[in-house]
């Protein structure tokens, strides 16, 4: 997970880029921070989906089989 300082830096660099005032080193740093942020986001979202159980209005478990298989393996 990104530390608060890293997230603040990512936001500052993104703002600076929108203002067209970013140099090559800052652009590389922005790209690296974005990749790290996206990786963390995807991993977190994947874990959340894998722990989801879907129940229809009648109370039946309608969780997709693919997710059920993943849950069984864990």
Taking only the tens place, the pLDDT of each residue in 21-56 is 899 999 999 999 999 999 999 999 999 999 999 999
DSSP letter for 20, please.
Answer: T
What ranges do the domains of the chain cover?
4-73
> What region does 55 belong to: left with phi over 0, alpha with psi -120 to 50, or beta?
beta
Q: What's the CA gap between 39 and 43, in Å, rounded? A: 6
- Identify the pLDDT of residue 73: 87
CB 71 within 8 A of CB 50: yes
CB 68 within 8 A of CB 29: no
What global pTM score does this model have? 0.73
């Amino acid at each position: 997970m990104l530390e608060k300082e890293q997230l603040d830096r990512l936001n500052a660099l993104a703002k600076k880029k929108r203002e067209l005032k970013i140099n090559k080193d800052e652009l590389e740093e922005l790209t690296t921070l974005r990749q790290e942020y996206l990786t963390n986001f995807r991993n977190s979202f994947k874990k959340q989906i894998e722990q989801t159980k879907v129940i229809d209005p009648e109370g039946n478990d309608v969780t997709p089989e693919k997710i059920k298989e993943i849950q069984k393996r864990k």
